[in-house]
Structure 1
Amino acid sequence: MTEDDDASNEISDIESRIEALAEIAERCRKYILASKIAVGSGGALLLVTILGLFGMGQTAALGSIALVLGGIVSLGSNFSTLRQTEDAIGAAEALRAQLISRIDLRVVADTPIKLV
């Protein structure tokens, strides 16, 4: 195996890692959206409970507070995970670019096509 083959295999491994990290980032984005929805709906439910619009009791108030707090915790956790994942993707892409630049690429000349 030549050095170019080793670099090609390593580039392939890095691309697989980038794809896996991209899936993690997408999953984090979905959890972030769900967390925002939880915070918003928990806040709305708490407001409705405080105003006594639908006759909900203390259980609904406690549930809405738990929903807001859980959403905030999930939001912060997934934001930090997303940030770390995006940093890892950037580092992997930089390494991939560095490996590609080391490969001895050959230019393939275009040959004119003769029509008969």
Structure 2
Amino acid sequence: MTEHDPTDEISQIEDRIERLAEIAERCRKYILASKIAIGGGGALLLVAILGLFGTGQTAALGSIALVLGGIVSLGSNVSTLRQTESAIGDAEALRSRLIGRIDLRVVADAPMKLV
């Protein structure tokens, strides 16, 4: 009976880690965009409150919407990023355990033959 070879499973786990890393990177980009939206909305609200540049109620409402949307997006993406990073850690731990089960053999140094 042959021993279970975990190399295929390791390969699948590495593919999963790559996909999760892409998701994490996308979350980081959305987090940055959310922070920019919050800052921009706050600045626009301040401009609207101070009455600079002739902005009115529409600009104030728009800025409030921008700030609130940024906050919601930030919270959602931070939560998703945490879950994704946890899943990456779990997958890496599983990969390490599977690699540890492989019966690795040392290949002796042999002189190379030139053809």
TM-score by length of 2: 0.94
The residue aligned with 1:48 is 47
Output the amino acid matched with 1:78: N
- State which drifts further: 104-113 or 70-79: 104-113
Output the amino acid matched with 1:87: S
The residue aligned with 2:4 is 3
- Give unpaired runs (5+ residues) of structure 2: none
The residue aligned with 2:75 is 76
The residue aligned with 1:66 is 65
The residue aligned with 1:86 is 85
How far the C-alpha of 1:114 sits from its partner, in A, is 7.5
Name the CA distance, whole Å, in 2 between partners of 1:114 and 1:71: 63
Output the amino acid matched with 1:46: L
- Segments of 4+ in structure 1 off by > 4 A? none
- Give unpaired runs (5+ residues) of structure 1: none
Question: What secondary structure is seen at the aligned counterpart in 2 of 1:112?
Answer: coil
Distance 1:52 1:110, change over 3 A: same
Residues 90-109 of structure 1 mapped to structure 2, 5 A cutoff: 90-109=89-108
TM-score by length of 1: 0.93
How far the C-alpha of 1:112 sits from its partner, in A, is 3.4
- State which drifts further: 105-114 or 62-71: 105-114
Q: Matched residues, percent identical?
A: 81
The residue aligned with 1:38 is 37
Question: What secondary structure is seen at the aligned counterpart in 2 of 1:10?
Answer: helix
Number of residues of Structure 1 aligned to a counterpart in Structure 2: 113
How far the C-alpha of 1:85 sits from its partner, in A, is 0.1
How far the C-alpha of 1:22 sits from its partner, in A, is 0.4
Name the CA distance, whole Å, in 1 between partners of 2:92 and 2:71: 31
Q: Which string of whole-angstrom CA distances, capped at 9 and with x for unpartnered residues, describes residues 72-104 of structure 1?
A: 010000000000000000000000000000001
